[in-house]
């Protein structure tokens, strides 16, 4: 009898990670796994410990206890390999606004010691639909363009894992949609994405799985359907569906593409009575 093939290791694996700052326990034994080529949304309110966990995975902060692995490399023991495997995009775009978009990408390619940095920059501009703006100063970009450039810079060198910490902070609805499309394309191309967010609709739209971090612990992980199933079914009544303010905003500005809502269904929606 042929043995079943071994499952591929998770791209991110966290076991029993704790972290305190003085008397304040921020992480209290976090367990988490992210499958390769998937998007996991890490939800939590301010102070839940999301950014602390991200900094530990990025080797910017040492855990007090527990283990963490990125692409099979131990965060504590193999920090250089972890930094090659993971790229972190913070809450605010870290582009140099004096440089052009192309120059920003060339700079990152040189810092990563990649051959032909100009060719790398041109390829990333094309990948993220920024070729036409590539020779403009990044300071002239819209919020969505700056964020796309920021993500492009993070992906120079093709790291297998990218962590997006609150990637749509401060963006208008149209820019937010641009970033959402970019994140979906990353996962489709095989990149593993850990997305931290406070926006529940963002997790609904993007995530294959969702982990809820509360008071330093993961209280539940699952698909959206699995999380919804935790609650009892509510009585329903049929009401006329009204467009959201975001739908109206995007329609009025002539946005090209579907609104940032769940896939369309019947003309009525279920609501709890």
Separation CA 142–CA 253 (nearest Å): 15
Alpha-helical runs (H) found in the chain: 50-57, 79-85, 101-111, 117-127, 143-154, 173-188, 200-206, 224-228, 245-252
Q: For the residues 94-117, what does the mean pLDDT come to?
A: 94
Query: Could you tell me which residue, 273 or 39, shows the higher pLDDT?
Result: 39
pLDDT tens digit sequence for 38-50: 999 999 888 889 9
Cβ pair 21, 46 in contact under 8 A: no
- Domains annotated for the chain, with CATH where assigned, are 12-231 (3.40.50.300), 234-273 (no CATH)
pLDDT tens digit sequence for 234-258: 677 777 777 776 676 677 657 655 4
Separation CA 125–CA 105 (nearest Å): 8
Phi, psi at residue 240, to the nearest 5°?
A: -70, 135
> What are residue 197's DSSP bridge partners?
43
pLDDT at position 249: 64
pLDDT-derived band at 94, boundaries 50, 70, 90: confident
pLDDT tens digit sequence for 185-209: 888 989 999 999 888 888 889 999 9
Bridge-based pairing of strands 39-43 and 209-214 is parallel
């Amino acid at each position: 009898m042929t043995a079943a093939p071994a499952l591929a290791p998770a791209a991110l694996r966290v076991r029993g990670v704790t972290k305190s700052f003085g008397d304040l326990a921020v992480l209290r034994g976090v367990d988490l796994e992210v499958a390769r080529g998937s998007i996991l949304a890490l939800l939590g309110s301010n102070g839940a410990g999301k950014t602390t966990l991200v900094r530990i995975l990025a080797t910017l902060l040492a855990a007090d206890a527990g283990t963490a692995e990125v692409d099979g490399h131990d965060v504590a023991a193999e920090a250089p390999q972890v930094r090659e495997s993971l790229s972190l995009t913070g809450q605010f775009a870290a582009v140099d606004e004096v440089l052009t978009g192309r120059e920003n990408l060339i700079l990152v390619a040189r810092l990563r010691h990649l051959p032909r940095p100009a060719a790398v920059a041109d390829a990333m501009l094309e990948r993220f639909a920024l070729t036409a703006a590539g020779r403009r100063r990044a300071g002239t970009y819209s919020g969505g363009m700056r964020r796309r450039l920021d993500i492009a810079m993070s992906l120079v060198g093709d790291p297998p894992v990218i962590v997006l910490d609150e990637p749509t902070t401060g963006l208008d609805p149209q820019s937010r949609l641009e970033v959402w499309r970019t994140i979906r394309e990353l996962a489709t191309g095989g990149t593993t994405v850990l997305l931290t967010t406070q926006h529940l609709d963002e997790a609904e739209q993007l995530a294959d799985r969702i982990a809820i971090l509360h008071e330093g612990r993961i209280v539940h992980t699952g698909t959206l359907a699995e999380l919804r199933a935790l609650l009892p079914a509510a009585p329903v009544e049929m009401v006329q569906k009204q467009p959201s303010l975001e739908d109206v905003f995007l329609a009025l500005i002539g946005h090209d593409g579907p609104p940032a809502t769940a896939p369309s269904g019947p003309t009525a929606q279920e609501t709890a009575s």
